[in-house]
Every structure is written in structure tokens, then in C-alpha cells.
Chains A and B, each alone.
Chain A
Amino acid sequence: MKALLALLLLLALPALAVEPNERLADPALEARARALSRGLRCLVCRNESIDESHADLAHDVRVLLRERLSAGDSDTAAIRFITDRYGDFVLLDPPLKTSTMVLWMAPPALLVVAFGGVLLAARRRRAPPAPLTAEEQARLATLLKGQE
């Protein structure tokens, strides 16, 4: 009984937002639609993709995306169709453009700065102290003498 239960649990699939009546008959086309919709943000829930979201708008966009693909659009054309209306914000993976340069470049730049700082600090620590000058030697001698 337990084994059966465990088996059933293993067989359980995650609940998907894509409803049966949205799916395309052509499995290849449907697979493309699924892949694309995983990268598109649902504008109502913001941090879910339209593939996961149950929001009305997500449903609409899923249907429209499938319409574009069925009409023979390439993946980029279908995505363009949506970004033309809703902007790059709908892409969960932001594109590399001049406006997103800071976003893409800041992490590696900070990493370089941080490594530079660590290297500099390490080198400074490793450098042996400069030998004492004659003047310092003399002062050291008097200090040591005074202590005795």
C-alpha cells in the first residue's frame, strides 16, 4: 500500500497553468509554444512566467502566442509580436542592449574590482617591512637600553 502511494506520488506531475483547450494539436508547435512561454513574464503576477500563471492575461498571451506560431511565425517573430506591445519587461531573460548595459556589466565589473582589491591587499601584506635606517637603528638601541 505504502509502495503504491509512493509510486503515485512519484508519478504526480506538477500542476500546470496551460489548460487542455489551449494546447495545439501539433506536438512540435506546442513544444515551441511551451518553451517560449516559459521565458515570458506574466504582467499581472510579475514574477511568474505565463506558462505557470493562472491570470487571465497570461491565458490570453498563451493563446495569442500559439496563434502566431500556428500562423507560421518564427520564435523571434512571435516574441517580437509581444514585446512590441508590452516591452522588453515581458522577457524574463533581459536582452543585452545599450539600455541594459549597466544591468549586464555591473556584476562582472564589481567582481573585477573586488578581486583587484583583494590582490592589492594580499600583496601589501606579503611585502616584508623595509630595513631600518641608521637613524632608526640608533633610536631602537637607545630605547632598548632605556628599558634595561
Chain B
Amino acid sequence: MSRRLITLLPLAVFLAVAVYFALALRPNRDTQALPSVMIDKPVPAFDLPSLADGPNLSPAAASGEVVVINYFASWCVPCRIEHPVLMALKSQKVTLWGIAYKDKPEESRTFIAQSGDPYARIGVDRDGRTGFDFGVYGVPETYVIDRAGHIRKRFVGPLTPEIAERELVPLVRALAKP
């Protein structure tokens, strides 16, 4: 009996390795994905000057509502690709805040003027410090903040219509329920 088990051992090892590779190589796995350590933590404190001439943007401005924070920059090409998705989110009554990451304010303004403004509020993170506190490593990045002010999800890279419809909007709706 034990001899038969031993002869089956190579097959078992092969199957284990095959399953591992099948999982690791499955076509829709994102090999660049990096889990954020900020998930379920309170949103970092920030106090950013407004891109318009309004009051500063800080987490307190959410006043207990679900907010989606989107890091963008006028120099960032994927942000331009993502922009129509953000406009669609605005029309679905998702509260979007923009944070202009390491961008000259006048250039952010031009970008918004040309492509449309999906944001309820825009803060200017000129030196990227606030981005650092969020753990941003490239724009665009999008964070979903719940009513208690905790980061619930991060999307790295441009939002696609599919991601917005399947993940972001349902999450925002679920978090908005009292």
C-alpha cells in the first residue's frame, strides 16, 4: 500500500505544481497588482488648497458621505483615457473629489476646462506629499472612502467603464446605505 502511495507521489507533486501555475498564469490575473496597506485605515489627514478659489479640501469636507478620491494630473496620459469614465460617474451621482498630483495648477485648470469637470471638489497636491500619505505610486489612482472616513478600496491605473460598472459603483452604493 505505502509503495503504491510512493509511486503516486510524483503525480501528486506534478498536479500541485500544475494547479499553482494555472492559478498564477490565469489570463485575467493582474501581475502588477499591489495590495494597498491603507485599506480599512482612516483616510490620511490632508489640507489642500482648492484648484478653484474655494476653501481648502480636507477629509472633513466629506461630512459623513461616501467619497471617491481620484488622483490625476494634466501630464498623465492614462488620466485622459480615464476621464470619460469619471464624467459618467458624475452623471451617476457619485461624489468625486479630484486631487491634482504634482501638477501645475494652471495646467490642471486647462485640462479640466478642456475635458470637463467631473469633480465636486479639487485639491492641489503640488509636491505629492498627500499622495505619499495615501501610498500613491502613480497616477491615476482612485480611492473609495466610506461614510466613517475609512479607505475601502483602491483602484490603480485608469478606471475602465467595466471596472466602474462592476466594482466601483456597486461598492459606492453599498457603502452609501445607512
B133 engages A85 (CB within 8 Å)? yes
Task: Give the A-B contact count at a CB cut-off of 8 A.
Answer: 29
A61→B102 CA distance, assembly (Å): 14
Q: A43-B137, A44-B137, A57-B137 are in contact. Are A86 and B37 (CB under 8 A)?
A: yes
Q: Which of B35, B38, B132, B135 contacts A60 (CB 8 A)?
A: B132
Residues of A within 8 A of B102 (CB): 56
Question: Does B138 contact A57, Cβ atoms closer than 8 Å?
Answer: yes
- Number of A interface residues at 8 Å Cβ cutoff, please give it: 13
Residue of A nearest to B133 (CB): A85
For the complex, give the distance between the alpha carbons of A61 and B133 in Å: 11
Name A85's contact: one of B34, B35, B38, B138 (CB within 8 Å). B38
Per the 8 Å Cβ criterion, residues 10-62 of A in contact with B are 43-44, 56-57, 60-61
Contacts of A92 in B (CB 8 A): none
Q: A115 near B: Cβ within 8 Å?
A: no
In the complex, B36 has a CB within 8 A of chain A: yes
Q: How far is the CB of B42 from chain A (nearest CB, A)?
A: 12
- For the complex of A and B, 8 pairs with smallest distance between CB atoms: A43-B137, A87-B37, A85-B135, A86-B135, A60-B128, A57-B137, A89-B34, A85-B133
Residues in A lying within 8 Å of B, measured CB to CB: 43-44, 56-57, 60-61, 64, 83-87, 89
